[in-house]
């Protein structure tokens, strides 16, 4: 296998002077590279590097801030290095603006042109025209055999009600797909979207994920805008997907995250 130093030299024409790990979540290795000539780059390794690169480029093409892709090869994604700062009110306002811009880019079907994954949890994205059908088949029941039987039966009952709970054909907005605060890089007055898992779907999916571990401050909604009535119920439905992913990745400590949402939805 080609070494990191050889790949960086081939793609960027620079030598690695030093490297230090960056926080990359639980599923990938990320390093900040100091390069010859005083340059910097971020290197992220993983089997889906090329797919992530295409998603970052889609985010940038939509006019939303995201790191510039410098190159990909052999399961390696090279990106521009950005200076990270703390999340200030102006940063949250910038995130609202960035997300509104991202969601303004629309497709013709729900889904994406390739499957993605969080570690061993596959994310099927084969397009569908009906949104409740997509959320049931491609998300909540994408791999029913991987779920505990009692939860699977409850989710099946919920999926039979999705046409009543979700809009049939909301705009096919470009989604980040994994939007929690750890996947936002605040840099002064800009909020960059990182680590995307893009597909086209209902814009409220990103907002539901953003509320999974806390709530953004008022400045976020001042720039993003308000939601349509009934979003509280839809948020529970949309939060079930990342809750199920956490259950499958990290075990039974996340079961309560699934159950509390099912209980609130009456199943």
Domain count, the chain: 2
Q: Is residue 66 part of a domain?
A: yes
- The pLDDT of residue 29 is 87
**143 is known as an active-site residue:** no
**What average pLDDT does the chain have?**
95
Residue 141 predicted with pLDDT over 70: yes
Q: Is residue 150 part of a domain?
A: yes
pLDDT digits (tens, 9 = 90+) for 96-115: 999 999 999 999 999 999 99
Do 51 and 71 reside in the same domain of the chain? yes
Q: Is residue 64 part of a domain?
A: yes
Look at residues 50, 79, 108 and tell me which one is the last residue of a structural domain. Answer: 79
Look at residues 79, 108, 133 and tell me which one is the last residue of a structural domain. Answer: 79
Averaged pLDDT, 34-40: 94
Residue 25 predicted with pLDDT over 70: no
- The pLDDT of residue 24 is 60
What CA–CA distances, in Å, run from 221 to 21, 210, 216? Answer: 33, 12, 8
Cα gap 36→30, rounded to integer Å = 19
Do 26 and 51 reside in the same domain of the chain? yes
Q: Which of 178, 189, 195, 222 is catalytic?
A: 178
Averaged pLDDT, 203-232: 95
Cα gap 239→94, rounded to integer Å = 24
Q: Is residue 84 part of a domain?
A: no
Q: Is residue 38 part of a domain?
A: yes
Residue 196 predicted with pLDDT over 70: yes
Do 47 and 170 reside in the same domain of the chain? no
Do 106 and 199 reside in the same domain of the chain? yes
Q: Is residue 165 part of a domain?
A: yes
Do 54 and 114 reside in the same domain of the chain? no
User: Where does residue 174 rank: exposed (0-12), middle (13-18), buried (19+ CB within 10 A)?
Assistant: buried
Averaged pLDDT, 241-264: 97
Do 67 and 150 reside in the same domain of the chain? no
Q: If pLDDT is split at 50, 70 and 90, which confidence band does 1 have?
A: very low
Averaged pLDDT, 9-20: 94
> Domain range spanning residue 115?
89-264
Look at residues 79, 110, 136 and tell me which one is the last residue of a structural domain. Answer: 79
Do 75 and 175 reside in the same domain of the chain? no
DSSP conformation letters of 185-223: EEETTEEEE-S---EEE-THHHHHHHTTTS---HHHHHH
Do 75 and 112 reside in the same domain of the chain? no
Which pairing describes strands 116-118 and 29-35: parallel, antiparallel, or unpaired? unpaired
For residue 164, the domain's CATH number is 3.90.1200.10
Do 113 and 48 reside in the same domain of the chain? no
Do 51 and 115 reside in the same domain of the chain? no
């Amino acid at each position: 296998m080609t070494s990191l130093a050889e790949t960086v030299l081939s793609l960027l024409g620079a030598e690695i002077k030093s490297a230090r790990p960056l926080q990359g979540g639980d599923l990938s290795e990320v390093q900040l590279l100091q390069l010859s000539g005083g340059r910097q780059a971020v290197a992220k390794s993983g089997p889906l590097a090329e797919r992530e690169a295409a998603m970052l480029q889609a985010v940038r093409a939509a006019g939303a801030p995201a790191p510039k892709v410098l190159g990909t090869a052999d399961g390696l994604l090279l990106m521009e290095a950005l200076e990270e700062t703390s999340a200030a009110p102006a940063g949250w306002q910038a995130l609202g603006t960035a997300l509104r811009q991202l969601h303004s880019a629309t497709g013709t079907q729900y889904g994406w042109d390739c499957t993605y994954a969080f570690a061993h949890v596959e994310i099927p994205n084969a397009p569908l025209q009906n949104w409740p059908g997509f959320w049931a088949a491609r998300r909540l029941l994408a791999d029913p055999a991987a779920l505990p039987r009692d939860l699977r039966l409850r989710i099946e009952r919920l999926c039979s009600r999705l046409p009543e709970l979700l809009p049939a054909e909301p705009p096919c907005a470009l989604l980040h797909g994994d939007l929690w605060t750890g996947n936002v890089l605040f840099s002064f007055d800009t909020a960059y979207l990182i680590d995307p898992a893009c597909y086209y779907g209902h814009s409220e999916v990103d907002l539901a994920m953003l509320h999974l571990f806390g709530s953004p401050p008022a400045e976020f909604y001042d720039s993003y805008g308000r939601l349509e009535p009934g979003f509280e119920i839809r948020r529970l439905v949309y939060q079930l997907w990342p809750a199920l992913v956490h259950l499958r990745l990290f075990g039974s400590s996340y079961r309560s995250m699934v159950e509390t949402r099912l209980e609130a939805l009456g199943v």
